[in-house]
């Protein structure tokens, strides 16, 4: 890394990563009820993949979103010959999104985000108190 990390850099990167994580879960929830006419066309849940970055100068580690990847979950086949998207066998394909899992993912990322906001708020307050002492 060219510049040394500060507490604010670490928190900002963590908050950005949690926002990506939350958006991925929101996208999965938004597509939870989707149906396709083929197994290949069915929506697959997405996940953010994180990588750690270590700054040797400061000894601080931070996170970076390395990629967004589709899960390898199998689409759910349902026999419904009356559905307009049914294939020649009368099957439709539902997305394999578990809405409860996605809600837990959103709540966890929101908590992590809030923890980082609290850490920044505490650091700011400590800086203000330090400046008052001078």
Domain of 110 in residue numbering reads as 7-33+44-70+98-133
Q: Model confidence over 50-108: pLDDT tens digits?
A: 999 988 888 888 999 999 999 999 999 999 999 999 999 999 999 999 999 999 999 99
Residue 26 lies in a domain: yes
Residue 77 lies in a domain: no
Residue 62 lies in a domain: yes
Q: CA nearest 8: which of 62, 47, 80, 86?
A: 62
Residue 111 lies in a domain: yes
Which residues are registered as beta bridge partners of 60? 55
The number of folded domains in the chain is 1
Report whether pLDDT(134) > 80: no
Report whether pLDDT(123) > 60: yes
Structure-block tokens of residue 79: 């026999």
Q: Determine the pLDDT at residue 41.
A: 93
Residue 108 lies in a domain: yes
Residue 2 lies in a domain: no
Q: Determine the pLDDT at residue 18.
A: 96
**Model confidence, pTM:** 0.84
Q: Determine the pLDDT at residue 1.
A: 43
């Amino acid at each position: 890394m060219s510049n040394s990390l500060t507490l604010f850099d670490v928190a900002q990167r963590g908050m950005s990563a949690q926002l990506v994580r939350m958006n991925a879960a929101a996208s999965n929830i938004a597509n939870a009820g989707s149906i396709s006419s083929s197994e290949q066309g069915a929506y697959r849940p997405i996940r953010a993949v994180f990588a750690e970055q270590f700054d040797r100068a400061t000894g601080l580690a931070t996170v970076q979103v390395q990629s967004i990847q589709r899960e390898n979950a199998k689409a759910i086949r349902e026999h419904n010959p009356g559905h307009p998207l049914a294939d020649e066998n009368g099957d439709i394909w539902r997305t394999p999104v578990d809405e409860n899992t996605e809600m837990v993912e959103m709540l966890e990322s929101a908590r992590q985000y809030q923890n980082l906001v609290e850490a920044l708020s505490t650091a700011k307050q400590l800086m203000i108190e330090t400046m008052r002492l001078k």
